[in-house]
Structure 1
Amino acid sequence: MVSRARKGVISDWWWTVDKLLLAALLGLMFMGLLLSLSASPPVAKRLGIDAFHFVERHAMFMLPAIGVLIGTSLLTMRQARRVAFIVLGASIVALLLIPFIGFSAKGATRWLAVGSFLIQPSEFMKPAFVVITAWLFSESVRQPDIPCNALAIGLFGLCAGLLVMQPDLGQTLLLSFVWGAMFFMAGMPWLWVALLGGTALTGLTVAYFSFSHFSGRIDRFLTGAGDTFQVDRGLAAINNGGWLGTGPGEGRIKNGLPDSHTDFIFSVTVEEFGIVLAMGLVLIFAFIVMRGLWHALREHDRFVQLAVSGLVLQFGFQAMINIGVNLRLLPAKGMTLPFISYGGSSLLAVAFGMGLVLALTRKRADSYSRGWAKPAGATAFAV
């Protein structure tokens, strides 16, 4: 037990961090490892590798992910901003290099090879982008002589453009939803909001007529024609599970799901553990999002409000898209279920993003400006 009387980084962290939020996040991570035991062995067997290959790699990535989650949550507000700035810069450089030295799979080039590992820079770019965008929006009032809103718009255009080049339209849409929500919460004029909405609709229309794989997914979702094998199998697995599931390891339909350990792990969850447990999983995701928004509502610092709101909305939107695809409520899109799906980059990047949420929502003394006023002697536009 950590005593309140003891002064130090760990003791201060323990008494200031949101323990309920931390417990929910760690619980999701361990549930992801458990569900990997159910979902990944059939995939490994089809590939002719050890049945627990993906389970072992998931566990291997989960340990550093816990370290990233806890380590990031130790940061002060200013340190969190600076770390996000470094991660965003490194991610943008990596995304610029991907067209030249990136690794391609399934018609997209999204990964960089680092030794025997594949890193997806866009996963790390997303949470860092949210924090820096929140900072720019909050500085637009504190520093009206600096075009912070224009910089935020330019940053969004740059990051969205790099994602479209891969192409990764699903992540582009996710980034756009979160940025649009933050744009609205920052109190931008309604004319700007309307222009943003019109631009988004125009972008979707252009993407539909420019990218055959994007239009194909939309058409298959709307008409049911074409190759819907994996979506159909995922929905069949959900129907087979019923309320209580078939039991751990007893699912049959999961054996024919190519991406049962990643995009369609929610379908495997329902098949083997039932709708009841799956609803519990959804409630944990909802609790994390609502807990983060509750913290944001109680904050007076504009940067913290926007950053925490953006990070938890990004977390929630990603989960909603993944589950929506499994339920055939949304067009098929390769997007992981946070902390649950297999994927080293996703696991580490989500841990980084939620670590930032824990860091920014810690109880802290009012040693910084809370609100819109610029602190006396503060350096203009300091990160």
Structure 2
Amino acid sequence: MMSRADRTPLTDWWWTVDRGLLAGLGALMVAGLVFLMGGGPPVAERIGLPTFYFLNRQALYLAPTILLIVAVSFLSLRQVRRLALGTWLVGVALCVLAGKFGPEIKGAHRWIQFGSFGLQPSEFVKPAFVVVAAWAFSEGAQRRDMPGGFLAVLLLPVTIVPLILQPDFGQTMLITIVWCALFFVAGLHWFWVAGLGAGGLLGVFMAYTFLHHVRERISRFLNRDSGDSFQEFWSRESFRSGSWFGTGPGEGVAKRHLPDAHTDFIFSVTGEEFGVIVCLCLVALF
């Protein structure tokens, strides 16, 4: 047992770390492996890979991931901010390179390829952006000599422009929404909240009007007769088939039709095989 009287880095970490958060992360990792056992095999077999290829790869990457999580949790707040700033700078630079030189996958250039290893820089930009933007807002509120608010505003276009050029509108919307939430928490007046909301609606309208890709997605979701609604149909069908309690592990049918059952549509596969109740518990855990 570790005593509170002991003053070592390990005991300090144990008595100050958010153990509930660590437990939640551990539960999500285990759940991810369980759900991937259902969604991964059909995709692997479809493209000629071993049945549990994606499951084995997920388990393999979990080991260094856990080590990284624990290592970062030992850092001080100053060290976390510095790490986030460095990660954000490198991530944005890689997003620019991906947009210009990355391979085209499903009509977008979002990946950096190192031999057989692929990396999506935006996945590293997201958490780093949250920390850096919050840091800028905080410094602006505490120090009059620090243009934190201006820097926080500048961070948004610098981050999302490379994503728009890839194009990656999903990540762009996510980062923008998170930035608006940080702006609100930092003490934004309700007048500016309304202005940001109106600006967001205007952005969606402009994207719908001038970007064919966005217009097609929205139209197909709202009206299945407006075009190919194959993915939307099977995604809904998976939840309809699973109902509250699911069809049972491995018994799903929709995963054999959905194109990315092991990634983009893993939640649909979970809904069919484990049921809506398990999906709601998963959302609650997040």
Specify if TM > 0.5.
yes
Instruction: Show the counterpart of 2:229.
Output: 228
> Whole-Å Cα distance in 1 between the matches of residues 90 and 257 of structure 2?
38
| TM-aligned CA deviation for residue 54 of structure 1 | 0.8
Instruction: Show the counterpart of 2:266.
Output: 265
> Whole-Å Cα distance in 2 between the matches of residues 195 and 269 of structure 1?
38
| TM-aligned CA deviation for residue 275 of structure 1 | 2.2
> Whole-Å Cα distance in 1 between the matches of residues 40 and 28 of structure 2?
17
Higher relative contact order (CA 8 A, sep 6+): 1
Instruction: Show the counterpart of 1:251.
Output: 252
> Whole-Å Cα distance in 2 between the matches of residues 262 and 120 of structure 1?
14
- Please state if 1:75 is matched with 2:75: yes
- Please state if 1:205 is matched with 2:236: no
Q: Structure 1 residues 40, 157: closer, same or farther in 2, change over 3 A?
A: same
Structure 1 residues 282-321: aligned runs within 5 Å:
282-285=283-286
Checking the alignment, whether the CA contact within 8 Å between 2:221 and 2:232 is kept in structure 1 is no
| TM-aligned CA deviation for residue 3 of structure 1 | 3.5
> Whole-Å Cα distance in 2 between the matches of residues 143 and 19 of structure 1?
33
Q: Structure 1 residues 262, 142: closer, same or farther in 2, change over 3 A?
A: same
| TM-aligned CA deviation for residue 191 of structure 1 | 3.8
| TM-aligned CA deviation for residue 137 of structure 1 | 0.7
Structure 1 residues 1-40: aligned runs within 5 Å:
1-40=1-40
Instruction: Show the counterpart of 2:139.
Output: 139
Q: Secondary structure at the match of 1:249?
A: coil
Task: Give 1:278's aligned amino acid.
Answer: C
| TM-aligned CA deviation for residue 4 of structure 1 | 3.0
> Whole-Å Cα distance in 1 between the matches of residues 4 and 233 of structure 2?
54
> Whole-Å Cα distance in 1 between the matches of residues 115 and 134 of structure 2?
34
| C-alpha distance after superposition, 1:187-243 (max 9, x if no partner) | 123443333233322222221122211110111112222111112112111111122
| TM-aligned CA deviation for residue 114 of structure 1 | 2.1
User: TM-score w.r.t. structure 1 length?
Assistant: 0.71
| TM-aligned CA deviation for residue 135 of structure 1 | 1.0
Q: Secondary structure at the match of 1:24?
A: helix
> Whole-Å Cα distance in 2 between the matches of residues 146 and 10 of structure 1?
35
Instruction: Show the counterpart of 2:148.
Output: 148
> Whole-Å Cα distance in 2 between the matches of residues 279 and 193 of structure 1?
30
| C-alpha distance after superposition, 1:89-121 (max 9, x if no partner) | 111111121233212200010000123211111
Moved more, 58-67 or 24-33: 58-67
Unaligned runs of 5+ in 2: none
Checking the alignment, whether the CA contact within 8 Å between 2:37 and 2:52 is kept in structure 1 is yes
Q: Secondary structure at the match of 2:251?
A: coil
Identity of aligned residues (%): 47
> Whole-Å Cα distance in 2 between the matches of residues 280 and 82 of structure 1?
35
> Whole-Å Cα distance in 2 between the matches of residues 277 and 150 of structure 1?
43
| C-alpha distance after superposition, 1:130-184 (max 9, x if no partner) | 1111111111122223322111111101111111111111111111111111111
| TM-aligned CA deviation for residue 22 of structure 1 | 1.0
Q: Secondary structure at the match of 1:245?
A: coil
> Whole-Å Cα distance in 1 between the matches of residues 69 and 228 of structure 2?
39
Structure 1 residues 113-124: aligned runs within 5 Å:
113-124=113-124
Checking the alignment, whether the CA contact within 8 Å between 2:238 and 2:269 is kept in structure 1 is yes
Q: Secondary structure at the match of 1:187?
A: coil
Q: Secondary structure at the match of 1:243?
A: coil
Unaligned runs of 5+ in 1: 286-383
